[in-house]
Structure 1
């Protein structure tokens, strides 16, 4: 079959009589223009680079490096700002009953809140406060607060303090009553951290495999012994020259 777009006299007659549609010259021209533009742009880019001196090419490379460095700096700034926004606490804050909803319930919608119900004159509460001070400084993403027990809950019995309340997602997650479960007067930062970690209030402590540590120690000992042996051999060799 003949090409209806071919430039022939017969096709021109058929187009004149309306038997064939007009040639799609516009589409053809658009394709040719597009191809010409692409070729010209490529040639201009190549000529632009070809005409640059080594110093100019180095400058261009430096500009690209600066752009990459700027993007990296912006990314690091965003990461640092996010970390600063998250790690915003670091101390145990004293609150009163009117503050409780704002400082605990509402705040716990964004992060975990640990509340210490205490009495100043009870030794276990004093020890708990000392431990919480260290934990608050270590885990700045968790909010630690303390409140006098019977100011928070009227007639709260002394036998129940220290009490830790753990809040998260706007609600109470754990109610830990009494010193005994923390180790009594033998409680430590580590024992309290372990309990808080079980309720996701702080990150769990990394567990160290004793067998792996033992192997590492043996390896270090063997490596040190081998190194010492090599040094002794070198000393013996040196002594042999005299």
Structure 2
């Protein structure tokens, strides 16, 4: 089929050919009109019987030639196969890691459902994790700080583990009192993390009372996070779980940490008892920080 010129790409009767064997207009672009052996529509430019090529087909032809000669970039790869491949891979990993959050008791309960060798691998992994925790849990208390000891007890100590500092209030700041209690709970639970406390104005001269409590998180000699007051959490109603979420985000603890699993279970156990009565008790009043 002969490619002939259409007025859309300029006039003239040049029959120059491209390296692809296609006739081109003087501008170097493929022509829009192709001569038909019989019938067709008369081309007003040269009187030949022709048919009109669809604009979509022309665009594809033009783009293919331009891409071949490096004028325009290659067509982007269809993302659908990559998406499907990623989904399959995600499902495979989810299946392989289905026991990742199970503790030793839960693994024992799955003996009839899972392959014994597969279960044994996870048991050994849990034993190794517990052994590591026992070896690294050397703190388990809140360390009161003095300004002269700050560099050694905080900055230098953070080269070995995460160090969290509570700049506390010098007065009756409810949020600071709440954080002092939470600090004790976290220190007892996460002995591989060092929890410290010092009054804000003793650590930094003139430190504003309104900025207490302040949380400073150190690792490898640097401040990783600074949290001024507990407004970003739940204020005086901030819980251990809220602070554990922060530890997760910082990488101080892992999602698979068995200590987090125990926390989740105990929270579920306590929830029904709190719903038994809508009337506050003396114990309830102790936790009311409003």
What is the TM-score when the length of structure 2 is the normalising length?
0.42
Query: Which of 1 and 2 has greater Rg?
Result: 1
Larger RCO (CA within 8 A; separation ≥ 6) = 1
Query: If each structure's helix is expressed as a fraction of its own residues, which one has the higher value?
Result: 1
